[in-house]
Amino acid sequence: MLNLEKEINERVAFIKNILVESNAEGLVFGNSGGKDSALVGILCKKACTNTIGVIMPCETRRNYEQDKEDALKIAEKFSIETKIVDLKGIKEAFVNAVGETTHLTPGAKANINPRLRMTILYSVALSENRLVVGTGNRSEGYMGYFTKWGDGAYDLNPIFDLTVTEIYELLRYLGAPESIINKAPSAALFDGQTDEGEMGIKYIDLDKYIMGEPIGEELKEIIFKAHQKSEHKRRGPYNYQAKTK
């Protein structure tokens, strides 16, 4: 069990220290209306009053309806300043431009969304001397369930080491809206998508494995294959380095 108050205080202190070290004046994060961004937003606001959450809907109905509503709920409850950038037109123009030179697969098209969001966040950060705060968790990281140079790009991440189970525990303690806690986790890159459906495993089983608890062999195999396949995402770029200079 987490010592919830201690966890919160230490993560808030971590954010404050990075702000001081970087000489930044504020923070910016993508407010998706999901569990991870909700916790990040709360922690950021506790650490820095000059925190902005950017809501960036793109294409899917859930983005424009349920997720946007939940993002606004968390912003209102915890007094987080909000900006909204609609990415639908940008995405369409991007797909049309790239489509003239290559055939974009469904996966490639879907991953444009988080990379566009990363570009927006860094544009705001550079313009306003802010740091971009990541929202990825330990469970997703282990499975490689994030977009390289999309939601995997950030300046700091205060929830990097937390499993999804722990994130829900902290959200309940902090009084996050029930609609965020109860809805199925989803990157909402296309209609009907859910994290668990796409990964083929429930977070509760994944978190048990990560924490060293027993799960079935079939589930272990799913986790092993996903982890192995996504190693390049966690490792970072492969840079050539000559043996002698």
Q: Is 86 an annotated catalytic residue?
A: no
Q: Is 100 an annotated catalytic residue?
A: no
User: CA gyration radius for the chain?
Assistant: 18
Can you give 76-129 as a three-state secondary structure string?
HHCCCEEEECCCHHHHHHHHHHHHCCCCCCHHHHHHHHHHHHHHHHHHHHHHHC
Give the Cα separation of 68 and 45 in Å (integer).
19
Active-site position among 59, 140, 195, 207:
140
DSSP-assigned states of every residue in 150-192: TTT--SB-TTTT--HHHHHHHHHHHT--HHHHHSPP---SSTT
Catalytic residue ranges: 36, 140
